[in-house]
Amino acid sequence: METSEMREAMQIMHPHVDINAPLTLYYDETNNIKKLHLKKGNFNVDYTANFVLGGFAFSGQKPNVEDIFDGIPLQPNVVEVKLKHIAFGEFTDCLKSQELRTFLTNVHAKPLYLHISSLNLLYYSIVDIVDSAIPSSIMHYAPSLKNALYIACKMSIDAIVPLFVKYTYPNVPKASVKDFVNELVEILEPYKTEKIGGGIKMLESLLREAANKDSLPFITDEDDYILIQGFMQLYARPIYLFLHSDHFFDNETEIQQLLVDMPLLYKGQKITNYSFFESKADKLIQASDVIIGLTGKFFKYINSSSHDDILELMFNLLDIQSENLALFLGLIEKSLGFNQGLIHYIDGHEETSKIELLGNLMGKDI
């Protein structure tokens, strides 16, 4: 797969990101569901839990991380540290952990930066509807239309899922495109009066126009019920984006094979800046497991909470929760200050605005 055009396009869109920085990035992942589908009439997994790939990055010589778990009482038989050894439960429960505070404090004391690629499953499953209907001349409206569609679908998920099942989404038969659009628009109708109403009105108009042409290209000629085929693009993106960096992944057999079958190229040359390792062999991969496990719980909290819920949380935080939340959000702030390309969300503004709200409430620029 040739990546030069994608890499250069990203540099044009994000000129402030130093993609040529020679970094070292360690990876783990959470919620690797392999596929998201509706084969049995409903989601095969919890759609509110993002897939998250990432871990820790550093510049220059590898820092000493042999003491990164110091101060955490671990059983003698623990040879591979995971989040469950440090904190457990939902995100707000994890924030009550004294061991988590010790770990995050240890991390902050080192020249380590958090890197994240997070994909919202529901958002990613429906954006092709907008991309199928919007003309290139008004593509600048696409993010707001996708966000409006996401909010409406999330709020009416009990109606959206049967609709998708009925029309074998994302493989809507071409003969049924108009019927699919008519029923989708009917579900979206009540949201014209919400804060997203303008986006829904524009989207309805675009969908009807596309349906009249029997043209919704990205949700036809696909596989029945398969909303997400895999996460190869999230593994590939940092490899070719940070081309002059070294990437160390936890063993993932399927991704390794895909990279063999479909090697990444840059200007015709094979990219070889990545390796796969057993997590037991390196404490930095284990530390990446801990932080990405926590990050996955964070995104699930964000997706499952309203802006008002977040405000209420802030009034009821225990001291230890407030300390851990400040440490965690501080890692994101530290990383963005170092290189904004390290934090990557595939998500709607509805969810990212909650992250910004939480950051503002905690005095963090995220």
> pLDDT truncated to tens, each residue of the chain (366 aa)?
899 999 999 999 889 999 999 999 999 999 998 899 999 999 999 999 999 999 999 999 999 999 999 999 988 888 889 999 999 999 999 999 999 999 999 999 999 999 999 999 999 999 999 999 999 899 999 999 999 999 999 999 999 999 999 999 999 999 999 999 999 999 999 998 888 888 999 999 999 999 888 779 999 989 999 999 999 999 999 999 999 999 999 888 889 999 999 999 999 999 999 999 877 778 998 999 999 999 999 999 999 999 999 999 999 999 999 999 999 999 999 999 999 999 999 999 999 999 999 999 999 999
Q: Which amino acid is at 89?
A: G
The type of residue at 328 is F
pLDDT at 79: 82
Strand, helix or coil at 104? Answer: helix
Q: What is the pLDDT of residue 197?
A: 86
Return the structure tokens found at 262.
């479909």
Closest of 323, 349, 285 to residue 94, by C-alpha: 323
Rounded Cα distance between 30 and 122, Å, is 16
Each residue of 257-314: pLDDT tens digit? 999 999 999 999 999 999 998 777 789 989 999 999 999 999 999 999 999 999 999 9
Q: Which pLDDT belongs to residue 102?
A: 97
pLDDT for residue 250 = 85
Exposed/middle/buried for residue 289 (C-beta within 10 Å: 0-12, 13-18, 19+): buried
Looking at every residue in the chain, the average pLDDT score rounds to 94
Confidence at residue 37, expressed as pLDDT on a 0 to 100 scale: 96
CA 56/CA 51 separation, integer angstroms: 17
pLDDT per position as a tens digit, 335-364:
999 999 999 999 999 999 999 999 999 999
Q: pTM of the entire structure? A: 0.95
Q: Is the dihedral of CA 135, 137, 143, 147 positive or negative?
A: negative
Give the model's pLDDT for residue 213: 83
* C-beta separation of 132 from 218 below 8 A: yes
* Percent of the residues in the chain that have a pLDDT greater than 70, as a whole number: 100
